[in-house]
Amino acid sequence: MADRLRALGYDVRTGVGKTGVVALKGGTGRCVMLRADMDALPIEEANDVAYRSQHAGKMHACGHDGHVAMGLEVARRLAGVDLPGAVKLAFQPAEEISFGADAMIRDGVLDRPSVDAAFGIHLWNDLPTGRIGLMPGPVMASVDEFEIAILGTGGHAAAPHQTTDPVLAAAHVVTGLQSLVSRRRNPFEEGVVSVTQVTAGHAFNVIPGRADLRGTVRSFGGKFYEQAPALVEETAQGIAGAFGARAEVRYRRLCQPTVNDERMTDLMKGVAEEIVGKERVVHGVRTMGGEDMSLFLARIPGAFAFVGSAPPGAKASPHHSPTFDIDEEALVIGADLLARTAVRYLQSG
């Protein structure tokens, strides 16, 4: 990738955020950053295609390989264009674990020169190819992770009265956490709490001394976003205590909601309408999935669009599934959207 970008005439930095690549064209005037994330998932690919993953247990199951392909195509298109400003292409790793954007920011991706606006896209199988989802405000949710250890005292399964059963306490903690959305959250605020891992014990006839829970909280901001860490802690501690057990809670915020700037969204929307037609630019496309593009957009104005990638007239496999694939015609639309948005932004100043 770096060699290809250098061959196009870009000033290239590698090792940004460990494995990220940054390519710069120009250096005076305003600077626009185009971000393409590159990542895979621990999934065994089930597609029988020539381009299936060559690595067992790993596949591009969310379209990030397409994002990189579009980023390289944008670089090719803009290489020979005389622009009134600078274009910075950020090929960002580790989006799926929400570490890549922060690592690149700490390594100075928004500096030298300072970035004035940022744009990105996500291939989206919930939309058919030829449609683009774009709106101002929050479009992707925050991503929080929690880990809860329920600590009791183990013993014989035939004598539970001699133990403090952490499995029973953990089961009630799961129920209590799920009720945060239905009973502790304003119904006008979106929110999701999901317990995704439960681990306890090693034998059928032994009550263990510990049970572990892991999960995630998602929201678009508001009071529930602010209160979620305390609510999870309070729920786990209270319920565990009621069973004579103890809870240890670790709560981490991975990334905040992805929020589109209104002015930048209008600019990108104008370009999108020129490419696919006004009637095919869809308002209201949002998801409780998260994106660490949010870390860039929290610092500088910008917009993030969903580019439809499902074959027209057919139902596509969902993201993060072993049969995920895209209609490659979407790559043409996405590259066009990013390249023309960058030019439009620089020319608007």
Domains contained in the chain, CATH given: 2-141+258-348 (3.40.630.10), 143-255 (3.30.70.360)
Task: Please say whether the dihedral angle defined by the alpha carbons of residues 195, 201, 203 and 209, taken in this order, is positive or negative.
Answer: negative
Distance CA 122, CA 100 (A): 16
Task: Please say whether the dihedral angle defined by the alpha carbons of residues 125, 131, 132 and 133, taken in this order, is positive or negative.
Answer: negative
Q: What is the pLDDT of residue 315?
A: 85
Q: Where are the beta strands (DSSP E) in 26-142?
A: 31-38, 86-93, 117-128, 132-133, 137-141
Residue type present at position 257: P
Residue 235 pLDDT > 80: yes
Q: Which residues contact 231 (CB under 8 A, 6 or more apart)?
A: 180, 184
Mean pLDDT of the chain: 97
Distance CA 48, CA 25 (A): 39
Distance CA 70, CA 64 (A): 10
Q: In which element (H, E) is residue 270 found?
A: helix 262-276
Cβ burial 11-35 (10 Å sphere, 16+ → b, else e): ebbeebbeebbbbbbbeeebbbbbb
pLDDT digit string (tens) for 271-288?
A: 999 999 999 999 999 999
Q: What is the pLDDT of residue 312?
A: 84
Task: Please say whether the dihedral angle defined by the alpha carbons of residues 180, 190, 142 and 21, taken in this order, is positive or negative.
Answer: positive
pLDDT digit string (tens) for 65-90?
A: 999 999 999 999 999 999 999 999 99
Residue type present at position 10: Y
The 10 Å Cβ neighbour count of residue 211 is 26
**Percentage above 70 pLDDT, the chain:** 100
Residue 124 · residue 306 · CB < 8 Å: yes
pLDDT digit string (tens) for 175-231?
A: 999 999 999 999 999 999 999 999 999 999 999 999 999 999 999 999 999 999 999
Length of the chain in terms of residues written:
349
Question: What is the model's pTM?
Answer: 0.94
Residue type present at position 36: A
pLDDT digit string (tens) for 188-199?
A: 999 999 999 999
pLDDT digit string (tens) for 292-306?
A: 999 999 999 999 999
Q: What is the pLDDT of residue 217?
A: 98
Q: Which residues contact 202 (CB under 8 A, 6 or more apart)?
A: 208
Q: In which element (H, E) is residue 186 found?
A: none
Q: Which residues contact 9 (CB under 8 A, 6 or more apart)?
A: 25, 79
Distance CA 325, CA 271 (A): 26
Q: How far apart are the first and last CA of the chain?
A: 31
Q: Which residues contact 301 (CB under 8 A, 6 or more apart)?
A: 116, 117, 118, 261, 263, 264
Q: What is the pLDDT of residue 107?
A: 98
What is the arithmetic mean of pLDDT over 8-32?
A: 96
Query: How does DSSP assign 8-21, residue by residue?
Result: TT-EEEEEETTTEE
Residue 219 · residue 188 · CB < 8 Å: no
Distance CA 200, CA 313 (A): 46
Distance CA 234, CA 251 (A): 12
Residue 349 pLDDT > 80: no
pLDDT digit string (tens) for 117-167?
A: 999 999 999 999 999 999 999 999 999 999 999 999 999 999 999 999 999
Residue 199 · residue 147 · CB < 8 Å: no
Q: What is the pLDDT of residue 341?
A: 98
